Chain A
Amino acid sequence: EVQLVESGGGLVKPGGSLRLSCAASGFTFSSYSMNWVRQAPGKGLEWVSSISSSSSYIYYADSVKGRFTISRDNAKNSLYLQMNSLRAEDTAVYYCAGEGGYGDFIFDYWGQGTLVTVSS
């Protein structure tokens, strides 16, 4: 069974930093691109960042470019999101989403999400 388990969320002050993690199991993590997708409270879904299987290709939404860094450790079956210079508008549930094999940017694996709250 595919499992994605996010961790690392919490309350942080504006301008602060946080590192999210996503632990994967039940599929060949090293073969697939991974993504972060977020959802502000009561709002819709927003794609945040993508990293290819070998970390060769990395993409960011304009809203987080220069502040967030995506990375992965295939040996540990883990995905990360380093978030710096956090703003109130970054408050959201952050989901780890995997591209399971249908192709680029088709998210068929999802974690349960971790809540990030940016507030003073």
Chain B
Amino acid sequence: DIQMTQSPSSLSASVGDRVTITCQASQDISNYLNWYQQKPGKAPKLLIYDASNLETGVPSRFSGSGSGTDFTFTISSLQPEDIATYYCQQYDNLPFFGQGTKLEIK
């Protein structure tokens, strides 16, 4: 099984900050990597697919990059409504989610 190591597990940042979350795969997964946002009590929401493609309707302050084993998710300017837990998910073989990053406002 391909394991995903997501870091950090939690993050505190100020409004307007640039925020970065990383995800590392245990083996090469090409660009088979998605990013989801989950707000408390809600279902996850797809933000980025195929490592760097922005889902329709998602604000452009969200972006993703990387390929192979190392991936990055970035919020260019943190907004209060971005408070959530973020998950990476690989799908090179069967799907597997990272452990999640809980993002809080400082």
Contacts and interface: CB of A to CB of B under 8 A. Distances in A.
Given A105-B95, A106-B34, A108-B55, A44 B46 contact: no
Contacts of A61: 94
A95 interface: yes
B49 A47 contact: no
A103 to B, nearest CB: 8
Tell me the dominant secondary structure on chain A's binding face: loop
Contacts, number: 58
Interface residues of A, number: 22
Contacts of B43: 95, 110-113
Interface residues of B, number: 24
Nearest to A44: B100
Given A108-B55, A112-B43, A113-B43, A45 B49 contact: no
Contacts of B99: 44
Nearest to A109: B46
B97 A47 contact: yes
A119 B95 CA distance: 28
A102 B49 contact: yes
Interface in B32-74: 32, 34, 36, 38, 42-46, 49-50, 53, 55
Interface of A: 35, 37, 44-47, 50, 59, 61-62, 95, 102-108, 110-113
Interface of B: 1, 32, 34, 36, 38, 42-46, 49-50, 53, 55, 87, 89, 91, 94-100
